[in-house]
Structure formats: C-alpha cells, structure tokens
C-alpha cells in the first residue's frame, strides 16, 4: 500500500504560480511512477503530468505544456507539480496517483490516489 497526500492548493490570480506537493508513505516510493490529474466541476478527470520512477522521464498534457513542470525527490518521498502562468481554466481539484509499472496518461493505470487539493484561479 502507498498512501498519498496532496498539498499546496489554494486561490491564486490568473498569471500566478502554485506548487503542489504529493507526499507518499508506505512502500518504497522510488518503485512507483506518479501522475497528476485534475477534475473540474462537471468534467471528467484529466491527465496533467506524469513522472517515471527515477525522475528521468516525464510527460505533460498539451494544455499545460510550458507552464507546468513535474519533478520528484525520492529521498523525501515527494512529487511536485510546479504550476505557473495559471489560467482560470486550470481551476480544478488536483489529484496525484501512483502505480508500480510505468508512467501513464490513463487514470485506470494508477492503483493509489490521494484525496485531492483544490486549485482556484481567478480572472
């Protein structure tokens, strides 16, 4: 079992920045790929970014490319999502998720999920 806890969400003006954290506990964190997803009201959960086990490989959704960066610190059992140039359409609950196979765009590939953190971007 891996337990995930997101933090760092909040209210920010358009153009601002936030850094989300996903803290893991339980099994060896470096054995898990991690993804960030988001869900806006009335919409399906959408892929944002993912990182492989070592941190050497990342994937980012086109909608956030150039604005969001995913990284990890395995010594601290934490994955980060640095978000800049935020837009109102980035408003959503952001979730981190982990799986023991590979980084993936698909929510169905992830076995463990955090409870989510709200990000609200005002115009």
**Mean pLDDT, range 40-49, rounded to an integer:** 96
Q: Using CB atoms within 10 Å of the CB of residue 97, give its burial: 0 to 12 exposed, 13 to 18 middle, 19+ buried.
A: buried
Q: According to the model, what pLDDT value does residue 1 have?
A: 85
The strand pair at 92-99 and 33-39 is best described as antiparallel
pLDDT in the model for residue 26: 83
Confidence of residue 28 (pLDDT cuts 50, 70, 90): confident
Q: Is the pLDDT of residue 27 over 80?
A: no
Note every long-range contact of 41-50, with CB atoms under 8 Å and residues 24 or more positions apart, other chains counting: 43/92, 45/95, 45/107, 46/92, 47/105, 47/106, 47/107, 48/81, 48/94, 49/81, 50/103, 50/104, 50/105
Averaged pLDDT, 57-62? 97
């Amino acid at each position: 079992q891996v337990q995930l806890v997101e933090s760092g969400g909040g209210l920010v003006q358009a153009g601002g920045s936030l850094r989300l954290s996903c803290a893991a506990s339980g099994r060896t964190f470096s054995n898990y790929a991690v993804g960030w997803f988001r869900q806006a009201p009335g919409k399906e959960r959408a892929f944002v970014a993912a990182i492989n086990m070592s941190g050497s490989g990342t994937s980012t959704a086109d909608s956030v490319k150039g604005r969001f960066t995913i990284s990890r610190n395995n010594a601290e059992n934490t994955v980060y999502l640095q978000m800049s140039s935020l837009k109102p359409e980035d408003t959503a609950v952001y979730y981190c998720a982990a799986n023991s196979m590979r980084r993936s765009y698909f929510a169905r590939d992830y076995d463990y999920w955090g409870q989510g953190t709200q990000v609200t971007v005002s115009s």
